[in-house]
Structure 1
């Protein structure tokens, strides 16, 4: 395969990704939420407890803080999000989904795409997930944006001394629960870009 063919294939793949995204975002003629509101609802459902803030959502959604705040406020007014004081410092405000928010998320237009991905063989799902994570990171770096990922893959993952909580975030000093490892984090930094060796994931041995 020559460079011209490779570039053409890459272009077609990029167009297909955009096409799939467009199809996945298609909603009913009278959608219950806007695409931005759906994105916010998903973000606050999947972000860890340190990252459920309007500013973190603004970075994730690549939009301004003002626009992100308006989107979050509209979901709060609709009863899908509720605010509370952050556990970490008690000064900042974070948002959680309400029971109505979780019920609304059950009708997420992306559920059809999720089902299609789930139908793929496990190895294809894994390869696709890794490739998309790399693409998202590359685009974020190219545009001076923020890469998002889970604590288990982050270079700031470190060992903690406290019994019953073996891991902590070396960026914020926050002790991490098992649930944190599977959620999006606004402080995520790929391991390759952090000099200090990170601890391994739960259930694995140190290298």
Structure 2
């Protein structure tokens, strides 16, 4: 190796590249060696998803979209959690061809050990203005990347363009043609559309 090669500094990543690497690094830290290993990262993701998804989105196929994986892989993850007693299947009254997945009492208890809690505490420790800006930035990145990859954008009903809160005591989803309760408004939905792109 020449003297010049030994002394040349390694190329530094640009700001966007560094930010992307930091996001990936944070995701890895969540399930690092000091984290709770009772479940695999995919199983933790599934358990969180079904605990936070609305009644229209608690299906294995919706989870596969959220987790950006195949339906077969998502189904195996769900089956493993059902076998552990953390999830259970219920008949979907709105569509007999599919089933809804619900988190059991044991599953909710396991979520108290969620390794994501450390990261949540770090985010909560940020000043409110920085936290709001951070969440808004992540939401925008998620929407933009989903658009690039032609995948669904997940979000909460309260922030969705399909949600109509005018003229009634309860909110109404124009996509599913259903009334929305308080739990729905704060839950993840596979039919989410940013307000600017919602149906009129």
TM-score bracket for the superposition, by shorter chain length: 0.7 to 0.9
Q: Could you say which residue in structure 2 is the equivalent of 1:74?
A: 80
Count of residues paired in the alignment: 188
The answer (yes or no) to whether the contact 1:160–1:167 under 8 Å persists in 2 is yes
Match of 2:16 among 10, 13, 16: 10
Q: Please list the CA deviations of residues 44-99 of structure 1 after superposition, one character each: whole Å capped at 9, or x if unmatched.
A: 01101111100000000001111111111110111000111224345531111111
Q: Please list the CA deviations of residues 142-170 of structure 1 after superposition, one character each: whole Å capped at 9, or x if unmatched.
A: 01111100011111112587x75x21111
Corresponding position: 1:102 with 2:108: yes
The unaligned stretches of length 5 or more in structure 2 are 1-12
Question: d(CA) in 2 for partners of 1:148 and 1:30?
Answer: 26
Question: d(CA) in 2 for partners of 1:118 and 1:159?
Answer: 29
Q: Could you say which residue in structure 1 is the equivalent of 2:196?
A: 192
The answer (yes or no) to whether the contact 1:50–1:86 under 8 Å persists in 2 is no
The answer (yes or no) to whether the contact 2:36–2:113 under 8 Å persists in 1 is no
Deviating beyond 4 angstroms after TM superposition, the runs of 4 or more aligned structure 1 residues are: 27-30
Question: d(CA) in 2 for partners of 1:174 and 1:88?
Answer: 11
Aligned-residue RMSD, C-alpha = 1.9
Q: Could you say which residue in structure 2 is the equivalent of 1:34?
A: 40
Of residues 37-46 and 78-87 in structure 1, the stretch that sits farther from structure 2 once superposed is 78-87
Larger of the two Rg values belongs to structure: 2
Question: d(CA) in 1 for partners of 2:69 and 2:142?
Answer: 16
The unaligned stretches of length 5 or more in structure 1 are 1-6, 197-207
| Superposed displacement of residue 17, structure 1 | 1.0
Question: d(CA) in 1 for partners of 2:165 and 2:130?
Answer: 32
Q: Could you say which residue in structure 1 is the equivalent of 2:141?
A: 135
Q: Could you say which residue in structure 2 is the equivalent of 1:43?
A: 49
The answer (yes or no) to whether the contact 1:160–1:175 under 8 Å persists in 2 is no
Q: Please list the CA deviations of residues 87-136 of structure 1 after superposition, one character each: whole Å capped at 9, or x if unmatched.
A: 43455311111111011111111111011111111111111111101111
Q: Could you say which residue in structure 2 is the equivalent of 1:157?
A: 163
